[in-house]
Amino acid sequence: MERGNSTVVTEFILLGLTQSQDAELLVFVLVSLFYIVILPGNFLIILTIKSDPGLAAPLYFFLGNLAFLDASYSFIVSPRMLVDFFSEKKVISYRGCITQLFFLHFLGAGEMFLLVVMAFDRYIAICRPLHYATVMNPRACYALLLALWLGGFAHSIVQVALILHLPFCGPNQLDNFFCDVPQVIKLACTDTFVVELLMVSNSGLLTLLCFLGLLASYAVILCRVKGHSSEGKSKAIYTCTTHIIIVFLMFGPAIFIYTRPFRAFPADKVVSLFHTVIFPLLNPVIYTLRNQEVKASMIKLLSQYVVC
């Protein structure tokens, strides 16, 4: 079956989220409503942060980028999934599959690194307040932003390079509603043990290490704020709690999907749905709902447009 690195398969058939039409209709309605309501909220967050000079701190700069990353991430899977609900045969070309896979990991890894940067920002702000303005100056913020984009690109290009090296000569049915590494690798016409090991180390191990590092950093921050005033302590705890919620929403499904051998589990598709569609749109909204400054600025911005 092995044919060097030549690719015979020109398209993949997506088996979809479920075979039940009633379940598909229910998911379509729920995801559509969620998409229509929450996605504009992400763009509103970006507009609010850009238009309000009072939200010029690094925290809000990174929050705006998180909203942008999550909004972009939601365009990778959701639109095609919604269209496929009405398609009798869900087909994606080989190139389209590789492109989807690339952007999925590019933006996903970028967001993961952004959460690490935001944890670093909170550590400096809370534990080294006198050095905060020096360390987190605008040039440093843009350098960190560039670094996380380059990190996401490097991570994704490794994933794609390993996939492109594999021969695909049939079958071509992907048991999912989008293209991702675990399902695509299983269709290769060769022994994929080494590739799976490399994929798990590139995605799974990296995700797990970042997750544990983030939890450790927030534990250190929470320990440090014990000596602060009651007002400063409550604000720091409130901010860190919000960050920890996002960390679990972002990393929980990713750890479930990528830190184990690529075997199918009944919960895989449901976890993937939340990981690629639901949670990315929710993350900035959770940050905003728990941030009084952004909420007040957003209400002010909306009131100006309503009055006009």
Q: Per-residue pLDDT for 229 more than 70?
A: no
Phi, psi dihedral angles at 262 (to 5 degrees): -80, 75
Question: What residues contact 182, with CB distance under 8 A and at least 6 apart?
Answer: 199, 257, 258, 262, 268
Half-sphere exposure of 89 (CA within 13 A, CB side): 8
| Interval 198-227: pLDDT, tens | 888 888 888 999 999 999 998 888 888 876
Residues 129-148: what's their mean pLDDT?
A: 94
3-state secondary structure of 262: coil
Spatial CA neighbour of 239 closest among 45, 62, 108, 74: 62
Which range has the worst mean pLDDT, 8-22, 109-123, 124-138, 218-232?
218-232
Is this prediction's pTM over 0.75?
Answer: yes
Going from the N-terminus, what domains does the chain have, and what CATH number goes with each? 11-302 (1.20.1070.10)
- Residue-level pLDDT at 207: 92
